[in-house]
Each structure stands twice: as C-alpha cells, then as structure tokens.
Chain A
Amino acid sequence: MSILPTTRRTATPTSQRLGHRAGEVIDRSRTVSFTWNGRPLSGHPGDTIASALAAAGERVLSRSYKYHRPRGLLTADYLDPGAFFQVGDEPNVRGAHRLLEAGMAVSSQNTWPSLRFDLKAANGLAGRFLATGFYYKTFIKPEPLWPLYEKVLRTFVHAGAITPDPGAAYYDKRHAHPDVVVAGGGPAGMAAAVAAARAGASVMLVEEDHQLGGHLRWGDGAALARLRALRAQVAAQPGIEVLTDAVVTGRFDDNWIPIVARSLPGITERLVKARAAVLVVAPGLIERPYVFAGNDLPGVMLSTAARRLVNLYAVRPGSRAVVMSANPEGDAAVADLEAAGVEVAAVLDARRQQGVARAHGRGGLRAVETTDGRRIEADLLVTATGWTAPTSLLNQSGDRPVYDQAAARFVPDPDRMPANVLAAGGIVGDGTVDQLVEQADAVGREAARRATGGSAAGTVPGLRPAPHPELFAAGTGGFVDLCEDVSAKDITTAVAEGYDSVELAKRYTTVTMGPTQGKLETVNAVALVAHATGRSIAETGTTTWRPVYAPVTLGALAGRPREPVRYSPMQPWHERHGATPLVAGQWIRPEHYGDPAAEVTAVRTAVGIIDVTPIGKLDLRGPDVAELLNLLYVNKWSKLGVGRVRYGVMCADDGVVLDDGVTGRLGEDHYLMSTTSSGAATVWEWVENWLQTAHPEWQVHVTPVTTAYASINIAGPRSRDLLSRLTDPEDVDLSADAFGYMNVRTGTVAGVADCVLWRIGFTGELSYEIHVPASYGLHAWERLVAEGADLGVRPFGVEAQRILRLEKGHAIVAQDTDGLTQGFSAALDGLIKLDKDDFVGLPELRWQQGRDSHPRLVGLQPLDGTVVPPEASQILRTDGSIAGRVTSSRMSPTLGRAIGLAQIDPELAEVGTRVTVRLPDGRDVAAEVTGLVHVDPEGERQRV
C-alpha cells in the first residue's frame, strides 16, 4: 500500500539528507534497513523512525484521529502527534522519538480506508458522527443503535493493532534511593546534577531524549561547545547515574518517583521506583504550536522541529519556507534553514505584528496566506510563537502555576512548592545558557544541602521569564489539538453551548486528552476559552496536570509479577499420587485423589489421612495466656487443664464471627492455638492487636508456627490402630483411658521427637491430629501410608473433608457464616458465655440474643434426596420472599442423600419445617429443616 498523499500521487520522494552537520547524531558509516508500509527504506543508526522517513522524502506520516486528515511532523520529538506508528506488533510507537532499528516493519496508523482515500468523502461521512461533543450527543439516543455506532467508530478510530502474544518483551522493576532526582537532562538539569553530586549527594539524572543536552544539541557552535563541556562534567563527576530515554512519570507523596526507562540492554522497559530526598524539576520549555486555518497540513512545523531535523538528523525539512518568528529561537531557525539550503521565501516577524493567517494545500502545504493579505508559495511553514512550561511535576507537588501575561506563559509559583521539590532552568524563567547554568548550579547545591543536611542555605538566583508577545490563534480556525482533532471552532462551540469553564470544555471536546496530554494544546485551549468567554487567561486558569506525565505501558506497571505459592512438605507425595490441586489462598493443597466419595467412605469405615499443614498454628507462652484466650474466644478458658484441648470461636467487637479452631494447653504457661487455614495471618495480627493495644501489661509471647509443623489428621475407626504402630505406649499412650477425646500429648511419632498430638474430631470419627516438625512431614506421611496398608488407609483431600464435616454439621467460618453473621447466627448458643466479664464482641452478642430476630444456622435436607441444591440457592417463604440461603450442600456418601446447612430466618428455623429452595435454573424444590448434625448426632463415633 502506498502512503503517498493524494496531491503527490505520482511524485517519487527523493532523499532530503543533508551533508554533515556539526551536531548530527546519526552514524553515516552504517545503514539501517527497515520497511515503511511494506516498502524497503533505510536510515542510519541514530535516526528516529520519523527522521529516517523525512530523510527519505516522506512528508505524510499518518492520518488524523477523527477526520483522517493527512499529517506530517509537527515537533519532531516524543510529543509529535503526527508520528504515531505501528512497529511490528507494537502499536502507538512514538515515531519521532523511537530510534530506528534494523528490520523494523513500520506502518502508518489511522489510515482507513487508505492514505489514497478521498479526503472530502471521509470528512463528509465523519461529520455526521463527529460534531463538537459528539461523544455525548451522538450516542445518547436511540440506544438500540449503540452497536452500530460502535462499529462505525471503530472503523474511524483504530489506533494501531495489539497482539495477545507478549512475545519476547521483558519488563522489570528496580527500587532506587538517590538523594536527588533531576528530571530533565538539558543544560540546567546537567548543571544541577553536577552541582548536587559535587556537594556529596547521590544523583539520578533522567532525560527523556536519547542524549543529554536539551536544546543545546540543535544550537550553534557555541552551544555545541557548551554541550560538550557539560557532558564531560557529568561523565567525570562520580555520584551521577544518567538515565536517558527515560521519563519521570509522576511525583507522589514524600518524593515517590516512578521513572520508566527504555533502551536498556535486554529489557523492553524498566520501572524505576525512586524514593528521592529532593526532586529537581528541570524539563526546560515546550514550544507551543500556533492555531490557524490549515495549521495541520504536512509541511507546517515548529521551529524546534525544523532545527532538530536539520541539526540533529541532517534532514532538509522542505525546499521553500515561510518562517513566523516571535523569538530568538525562531530567528535561529531561519539561519539554520538557510544553511541547509532551504529557500526562505519570507520571515514574518510576530514582534512587528506580522503573522500567518492561513495555510493552503491538500495533502501538504502549498502556500501561506499572511495577515497582510500576501500569498506566498511554500512547502514549509515554520512557527516560533512561544513556549509552554511543562509544570506537571510541580503541580503534583502542590504548586499552582500562575499566568504571566508579559511572558505569555504559565510559570511556577515557588512559594507553593514543598521543601523537597526545586525547579531549575527554563521552567522557571529565561536567560542565557550561562544564566540557566548558574541558576541550576545553585539549585543543585541547595538540593544536596536539603538532601544530606549539609551547610547553611545558599542563595538561588532567580530567573525571570522574558517578555514575549501573546500568540495563540490567528482567529481563522484550525486545530487546537492534533491528537484528538479538536478545532478552534469546537472550543468556541463548546463555550457557546455552556461549557464555559476550561475543565468543562476540556471534557466536552476532549481537547488535551490525547497522547500528548495537553503539553502542546493546553495553553492554546485556555486562550480560546478565555477569548470566547471574554475573560482573561489568568481568570480562566489552566487544567490540572495529573500523573502520569507520559503514557505508561501496562507491561512497565506489571513488571515481573511473582505470586508466592505455599506447599506442604508432603506435596511431592500428593503429586505422585494423582492429587487434584486446589488453590486455597496462597496454598496449593490436594482437593482429592480421584474419588472424594470413596475417600469419605474410607474415613467412615477404616482410616484416612489428610494433609492439614495450612491450618494456622500459634505458639503462645506466658503466665497470661489464659487471660488472652478468655478475651478473644467467646467461651471460657480459665479452667483448661494441662494436656487438654478445647474448641473456641472468636468474634470481632461487632459480634461477627471471625475465626475458630482448637487450642491446647501443652504446659503450665504453654499453649498451641490453631486457626482456620485462611485465617492464620488474620488471627496472628488479631492476637497481636489485642496484646499490644489493649493489654500491653499481659505477659504473652506469640510465635507463628504454621509452617514449622507439618500437620496430618488421621481419622476413622482404625486411626488408633494405625497411629499406635508409629508410637511407643511408654511415650504416648493412645488408649482411650489415657488419651481421651479433646486431649493433647507431646511425644515421638514415627521416630520423630517433639510432635504434638491432639485428639479431636472435625470429621466426627475417632481421630488424631499430629503436628510433626516440618522437615519430617513427608517421612511421617509415608510411614502412615506404609503402616496402614493392611488397615485400608487412604489419603483424603479437602473435598472429602468438607463432606465429612458437613455430615457432622460443623460450620466453616466464612462459608456457613459471612461478614454479617453474629455469633448466635452460627449455632454457637451453647458456646457463647454471656456471663463472662468481657470478651471481644460481648455487648453485641448480648444484644443479639435479646433481640432474638436473627437468622439461624440449621441443617437442611431436600425431600428428594437426589437433588443437591447448589450453594447460595435461595430459601423462599410461601409468598416468594427470600428467607435465607443454602450455605453448604453436598451428596452424603454415608447417608446416600443430599444434605446441607442453611442460614434461615427464625420463623422457619424449627426442625421439621418445610421450606422451598429455589435453584439457580429457576426450579423450586421442597426441603426440610433438620438438626445441624446429619450423621451420628450423639457423637458416639468420635468418643471411642
């Protein structure tokens, strides 16, 4: 596909590369080949994609966002709105910034249907959809047409293509703690960095471009000499880390400074998270475009763009030029163009009221119409009409820039800046290079002083903004925002429609909301709003410059995510034996080993073992542990004897159930607390919270030992037989008389000393939970499997355990309760001791019991035992209103029927009540409220 503009369809682009320039950054000794819309082209190392295209004579580089107008280079730097390209599978590449690489496949974006397509037709078609505020007007009604609108718009606005394949892209992150971050590597930034480093500060010098130097790089011989001297100083000064092709993307609290760096070997992008004592903001100034009819034609560019092309890349930007200049930089552009062999047909001196009224051409500039009515044939129009201070980082530090009418730009207000942020160079004011460097040198020293707490404060010389004529728009139309295709007329229309504040006009028209983020457009937009409303620019104010300063890729933000995963020491065995993994928080545990129902039956009829290592375990020592337990649990703990364990439930002070588990007393002042697997971290923090903030006088030491032990529950009628094969009765006597239900012992298991054994019954069977020093966990597990072969031992997973506990009616916190479930709604009536002086949640539970209107936790069985209502199915009253929900539901292998637990309103909570359960598919099934315990309500099986 050709990308030639319609008006030059038959012309062949010819090389615009100039002879050697003193400041050129290209390496002419080598050639880099690439393709442009499929066509082979070449440039040199050091070229940007756009400079190589310009050198090859390409002037139309893209079609605009809404109207698909042809666009060329405007700024020839990172911000250039005319040079967004697709490079391979990477969209929206900043073509006037990204360096050319061999083999790049570059294509233009927004070229629907092609760059040959008739412009007028596209515009006519677009007009229906793209009026001022079209986002709000076009799409409100009729709603059914939304999909059509979307389709049409997508055709108009495709901004490149992405691929779901991340390819070889590699993103990483780095933390840095420099004393001083200098944002901007122009003369001021370099001088500030050198001064700060000389004063002993560690400095990170961050420059958006590929080399240090800022505007000195495209300056005259004296500027280049100064550039070499400053670069030599930076290179020779220890303590400065230079990041080029890197951008400070924001300033957050306490100088938390994200920096995105590119051009690093082997790394696509790196996010540097810097915490700097002092931030020096030295971005220089951004040249501001001028708004007039035809200002978006290829061939219309800023003076800095023309000088970059000529002096950095040795590219002739046109053959016959008109220059509108209001400042010395514009005058210097005239000299540069003449030196490059460009015929300068006219210089319009804006300081003497000369100027551009309109630009004419189709697909490219043909003629310039001046304010005094002249028409000058030209293919290049260069404007130098003023500067914008990029104050984003200062705004984010609390500064509010003020409009300086004499200088025709917003300037920072140093009084509003915090002590850890300083500004240097052109953003503050104007001056000779010597003056800029002198001011920045003082700022650098002051930054180091503030960062390292050195000597007394020095004085920082001021920089005053130089007088400059106010030049924003010629009043002939044209585009304010070339990214978003917002015209001057759009702004006027928005104001006329009532959007008369700059913040409203911005949102209504989307001006400044494109990829350049207002850096080129904001001040012109403010000036147009001011003009349309009859207010001054100072009264109108500016929009807020928020983070991020430059767009950031998702890759840079994501970096290399590492989700920690926890395994028990028995994981290799589980994997070898076909366990289906279950993700439970950070833990990966066996859900089952192929047949959870058979695992349940094994536990009920023989013996099963389950890896319960993730159960939270806290080792509590000290004379006041019983006091602590009494405060945190709803039941009583003062009389728990040594060698005993007790089940406890914790509530928060709002009465809501927090966690549960058993705690055993191992010695006089020594307890082991267990928590739910998911609550381990929460309960540890909870315990510390009450100890540290409510009872610092209590002597209790808490040690989390969750992963210090591997935990195995051995459950089933043959569990005692099995465990006795691994223990010595002289050490741990497992007989029912010596080691009864709800007791704890310590001893040797499978030859491993210092194990904790407690006899408890989550499954409802005779069962022992053993906690083995973690490094012996796999050994103990394998011994249990080997020794239990003739007993029918079988490993079981979380699913079988869920069924077993449901058969026994044991609630699971956060499954059968939720964030609103207070204690008496969790079937804890027998456990909660309201006669205690205090425990966490006591008053709320007392009041809950008094109200007696709370939902109850009940057992539930569908009348048709083959129907297992999905968990969260609603329970309905006869009038169809919701009276509760199913919280747990399974097919019971032991009973051969569906069983469940439910939260249900009190009037339906009586055992025997018939209720209706609505399934997710809309069907209703009848069910009966039962007691909580479906299997062995008397608990005889676990007390043998």
Chain B
Amino acid sequence: MMLLPCPWCGPRNATEFRFGGEAGRRPDPASASPEEWRRYLYFHTNPAGWSTETWYHGAGCRRFLTVERHTVTHEVRAARDTATGTTGEGIS
C-alpha cells in the first residue's frame, strides 16, 4: 500500500485518503457548452505517468490535497493543501 505525504500529518497509508480523481477546473456554469461541461465531468486523461490529483485525508486532517503522483511508480513529487498551498516541508 502506498504512502501519501500529507502536508499536515506526514506520510500516511493511502487507505486513510479518498481518491478524488484528476484535479480539474470547473467551467463557468453560465457559459459552458454541454461538451465542455461533460468533459469536466467525465473525461480524464488517465496518464501512465505524472498526474495531478485530488486526495481527501478523511481519516486524518480532513483536508483536500493536490498531489502530483506518478501513476506507474507511485512516486509523489508534490503534495500541498489545495486551499492554503501548504506543502508541509519538513514533516516526515
């Protein structure tokens, strides 16, 4: 089971988190076409490589995190609090 480096709690088992999928930008609801909106809802790049994802540390600090993870090696090169940008440097 992989570890995720929570910026608040340190490295934790992935089972403490809920995977929130690829981080995406919500289109403007006033102007978005159905195609744009459904691309946001349903289409993901699903790369075999680096992916920017949302993880929710539900069994920990209950913060939403933006994580850059390599989907093949599970290497994480960046993890920050989505709202505050905190990277938690030095927590281990």
Contact = CB atoms under 8 A, between A and B. Distances in A.
Interface of A: 252-254, 256, 275, 653-654, 685, 688-689, 691-694, 696, 837-838, 842-844, 847
Given A838-B30, A842-B29, A844-B37, A696 B84 contact: yes
B30 A837 contact: yes
B74 interface: yes
Nearest to A846: B29
22 contacts: A252-B1, A253-B2, A253-B3, A254-B74, A256-B13, A275-B13, A685-B18, A685-B56, A688-B56, A688-B62, A689-B20, A689-B56, A689-B64, A691-B83, A692-B64, A693-B82, A696-B83, A696-B84, A837-B30, A838-B30, A843-B34, A843-B37
Given A254-B2, A692-B83, A696-B83, A653 B64 contact: no
Given A253-B2, A254-B3, A694 B34 contact: no
B56 to A, nearest CB: 7
The 7 closest A-B pairs by CB, nearest first: A696-B83, A253-B2, A692-B83, A692-B64, A256-B1, A254-B3, A842-B29
Given A256-B13, A689-B64, A843-B32, 14 more contacts: A253-B2, A253-B74, A254-B1, A254-B74, A256-B1, A688-B56, A688-B62, A689-B56, A692-B64, A692-B83, A693-B64, A693-B83, A696-B83, A837-B30
Contacts of B58: 685
A653 B26 contact: yes
Contacts of A253: 1-3, 74
Interface of B: 1-3, 13, 18, 20, 26, 29-30, 32, 34, 37, 40-41, 54, 56, 58, 62-64, 74, 81-84
A688 B61 CA distance: 12
Nearest to B40: A653
Contacts of A847: 34
Which residue, of A685, A693, A838, has the highest number of chain B Cβ atoms within 10 A? Answer: A693
Contacts of B40: 653
Contacts of A691: 83
B41 to A, nearest CB: 5
Contacts of B34: 843, 847
Which residue, of A275, A685, A691, A692, has the highest number of chain B Cβ atoms within 10 A? Answer: A692
Given A654-B41, A837-B30, A692 B63 contact: yes
A925 to B, nearest CB: 39
Contacts of A689: 20, 56, 64
A692 to B, nearest CB: 4
A430 to B, nearest CB: 32
Interface of A, secondary structure class, is helix
A693 B54 contact: yes
A843 B29 CA distance: 6
Contacts of A653: 26, 40-41
Nearest to A847: B34
Contacts of A256: 1-2, 13
A838 B29 contact: yes
Contacts of B63: 692
Nearest to A258: B1
A692 B58 CA distance: 13
A689 B66 CA distance: 12
A252 B14 CA distance: 12
A685 B57 CA distance: 10
Contacts of B74: 253-254
A685 B55 CA distance: 12
Which residue, of B37, B74, B84, has the highest number of chain A Cβ atoms within 10 A? Answer: B37
A236 to B, nearest CB: 32
Nearest to A841: B29
A713 B29 CA distance: 39
Contact of B64 (A254, A688, A837, A842): A688
Nearest to B34: A847
A838 B32 CA distance: 12
A326 B62 CA distance: 62
A692 B84 CA distance: 8
B59 to A, nearest CB: 12
Nearest to B58: A685
A694 B82 CA distance: 9
Contacts of B84: 696
A692 B29 contact: no
B44 to A, nearest CB: 14
A254 B40 CA distance: 32
Contacts of A694: 26
A252 B40 CA distance: 33
Contacts of B29: 838, 842-843
Contacts of A685: 18, 56, 58
Contacts of B41: 653-654
Contacts of B81: 692
Which residue, of B13, B18, B83, B84, has the highest number of chain A Cβ atoms within 10 A? Answer: B83
Nearest to B74: A253
A256 B1 CA distance: 6
A692 B80 CA distance: 12
A563 B34 CA distance: 43
Contacts of A254: 1-3, 74
Which residue, of A254, A688, A694, has the highest number of chain B Cβ atoms within 10 A? Answer: A254
B7 to A, nearest CB: 13
A890 B26 CA distance: 42
A706 to B, nearest CB: 15
Contacts of B62: 688
A838 B74 CA distance: 37
A689 B64 CA distance: 7
Contacts of A252: 1
Contacts of A688: 56, 62, 64
A694 B40 CA distance: 14
Contacts of A844: 37
B67 to A, nearest CB: 13
B81 to A, nearest CB: 8
Contacts of B54: 693
B33 to A, nearest CB: 9
Nearest to B3: A254
A254 B70 CA distance: 13
A654 B41 CA distance: 7
A254 B37 CA distance: 37
Contacts of A275: 3, 13
A842 B29 CA distance: 7
Nearest to B27: A843
Which residue, of A696, A837, A847, has the highest number of chain B Cβ atoms within 10 A? Answer: A696
A838 B26 CA distance: 12
A687 to B, nearest CB: 11
B58 to A, nearest CB: 7
A844 B20 CA distance: 21
A653 B3 CA distance: 30
Contacts of B64: 688-689, 692-693
B60 to A, nearest CB: 13
A706 B82 CA distance: 27
A691 B41 CA distance: 19
A7 B83 CA distance: 80
Nearest to B31: A843
A18 B53 CA distance: 66
Nearest to A704: B62
Contacts of B3: 253-254, 275
A423 B1 CA distance: 21
Contacts of A693: 54, 64, 82-83
A272 to B, nearest CB: 14
A842 B32 CA distance: 11
A253 B72 CA distance: 11
A834 to B, nearest CB: 11
A256 B14 CA distance: 11
B16 to A, nearest CB: 13
A364 B3 CA distance: 54
A691 B81 CA distance: 13
A696 B37 CA distance: 22
A650 to B, nearest CB: 15
A934 B74 CA distance: 56
A694 B3 CA distance: 26
